[in-house]
Copies of this chain bind each other. A is one copy, B any other.
Amino acid sequence: MTADPKAGRPSLAQVAALSGVSVKTASRALGGEPRVAADTRSRVRDAADQLGYRLNGVARELRRGASTSTLVGLLIGDLANPFYSRLAGGLERELRMRGLQLITASTDEDPEWERRLADALLERRVRGLVIASTATHHAHFAAEHRHGIPFVFVDRPPVELAADTVLLDNHHGARLAGAHLGAVGHRRIGVVGDLSRLSTHRDRLDGFAEAMRAAGVANWADYLVENAHDVAAAERAVSELLGRTPAPTALFTMNNRITLGALRALRGHPAPPALVGFDEVDLGDVLGVSVVAHDPEDMGRRAARLLLDRIDGHRGPARQVVIPTRLLARGSGERPPGTAGA
Contact = CB atoms under 8 A, between A and B. Distances in A.
Given A9-B147, A267-B285, 19 more contacts: A5-B147, A52-B143, A52-B146, A54-B144, A56-B62, A57-B123, A58-B69, A58-B125, A71-B103, A79-B89, A89-B106, A92-B105, A92-B106, A96-B105, A101-B105, A101-B120, A102-B103, A102-B104, A263-B286
Copies of this chain present in the complex amount to: 2
Contacts of A13: none
Given A85-B79, A123-B57, A283 B281 contact: yes
Interface string A256-267: 000010011001
A334 interface: no
A122 interface: yes
Nearest to A89: B80
A187 to B, nearest CB: 27
Contacts of A155: none
Nearest to A282: B282
A61 interface: yes
A106 B82 contact: no
Contact of A122 (B54, B142, B283): B54
Interface string A99-131: 001111110000000000101111111000000
A273 B30 CA distance: 59
Contact of A125 (B56, B80, B124, B143): B56
B58 A9 contact: no
